[in-house]
Amino acid sequence: MIGKLKGVVDSFGEDFVILDVNGVGYVVHCSARTLQRLGKEGEPATLSIETHVREDMIRLYGFRSDAEREWFRLLQGVQGVGAKVALGVLSVLEPGPLATAIATGDKTGISRAPGVGPRLAARLVAELKDKAPAFAAIDPAVIALSGAVQDRTAPQATADAVSALVNLGYAPVQASSAIAVALREAGEEAEAKVLIRLGLRELAR
């Protein structure tokens, strides 16, 4: 199996790059984001590789980091997600933001990926939420709060405060983060109006 390729960019296709490694041109399929960040033709490039082998074909998928490759694998463990959809998700969200979106239940952000509708986005969140925190660059308290709001187990005042900020146009992860800060300052028993005021103050910083 091929785990990494280091060579020179030969040319680009719609969803792949041809990487010249010591005179051998490897066709490597990549997310749109990865393709955009590779160098120009003739410039050096290194890609982590995932190899898919079938009876009639060997296909290589390339990634700028091992984390991106790991998410490619995780995504395909969900029913209805093949390599094409997984690359589509990674074209829209980098590994860190993807992990945060899944950990905080941001189905809207995930459904921006081509081929991912609301139902599949919900399935991705449900099946991968336990794995996402390990990759998310976010306060665990925010993840816990977002999960409680999603599962309707958060105190009513907390849920109302997060909902109010979302209704004002803030993204769910922003709202949850601000209210998590507010809770640390005001305490778990604080009223919704107090949490909203403190949350807006935090967002204004």
Phi and psi, residue 166, nearest 5°: -65, -40
Q: Where are the alpha helices (DSSP H) in the chain?
A: 32-37, 66-76, 83-92, 95-103, 107-110, 118-128, 140-150, 156-167, 172-186, 192-203
pLDDT at position 54 = 85
Residues constituting the chain: 205
pLDDT tens per residue, range 104-116 = 778 888 898 988 9
pLDDT tens per residue, range 130-141 = 776 555 555 555
Sole residue written with tokens 């984001």: 33
Which residue ranges make up each domain of the chain?
4-63, 66-134, 140-203
Nearest to 42 by CA among 13, 16, 14, 19: 19
CA distance 49 to 65: 9
Sign for the CA dihedral angle at 200, 201, 204, 205 comes to negative
Q: What is the pTM of this model?
A: 0.67
CA distance 75 to 71: 6
How far lies 176's CA from each of 105, 138, 166, in Å? 11, 11, 9
Sole residue written with tokens 């107090």: 194
Confidence of residue 151 (pLDDT cuts 50, 70, 90): low
| Residues 66-134, CATH architecture | Orthogonal Bundle (1.10)
Nearest to 135 by CA among 97, 109, 89, 106: 97
Task: Say which CATH superfamily domain 4-63 falls into.
Answer: Nucleic acid-binding proteins (2.40.50.140)
Confidence of residue 165 (pLDDT cuts 50, 70, 90): confident
Confidence of residue 16 (pLDDT cuts 50, 70, 90): very high
CA distance 95 to 74: 11
CA distance 41 to 149: 48
